[in-house]
Amino acid sequence: MMAMNPWVVMGGGLVLSIGSMYGVMSTAPDSPAHYGCWAVFSAMQGITLSPMALLNPAILGRAALYTAGAVGGISYVGATAKSDQYLWLVCIFLLPNSHEQSLTLMFE
């Protein structure tokens, strides 16, 4: 289907992803509809990302590594923080474009 009309797949995937995430957020966490909407959302993410993995796996792998690093760093800072002020520290490290800028912001 992606080879026949990629715009329909991407547009439909976007609509189904947004709609199913809205369904996840609007249903009670213990209801079966909540899990059904989450399954639809996860399936749509997999369907829309799988052609990217086949065309150029290096880009998707690099994005996954960067995402894992950012989420792991935020989780580590959040787990070891003594208060909720850790959010400001995360913003200092994630907003700058390079490591040199983040170090100069941190030590000024």
Structural domains counted in the chain: 2
- Using CA atoms, how far residue 76 sits from 7, 54, 86, 91, in Å, is 39, 32, 10, 14
Range of the domain at 34: 1-55
Q: Judge if 49 and 68 occupy the same domain.
A: no
* Residue 90 CB-density burial (10 A; 0-12 exposed, 13-18 middle, 19+ buried): middle
Query: Does the pTM of the predicted model rise above 0.85?
Result: no
Q: Judge if 20 and 64 occupy the same domain.
A: no
- Using CA atoms, how far residue 91 sits from 49, 67, 82, 94, 106, in Å, is 28, 15, 17, 5, 11
Contact yes or no for 24/62 (Cβ under 8 A): no
Q: Judge if 63 and 86 occupy the same domain.
A: yes
User: In percent, how much of the chain has pLDDT > 70?
Assistant: 75
SS3 42: helix
pLDDT digits (tens, 9 = 90+) for 61-104: 888 898 888 888 878 877 887 776 666 665 666 655 555 444 44
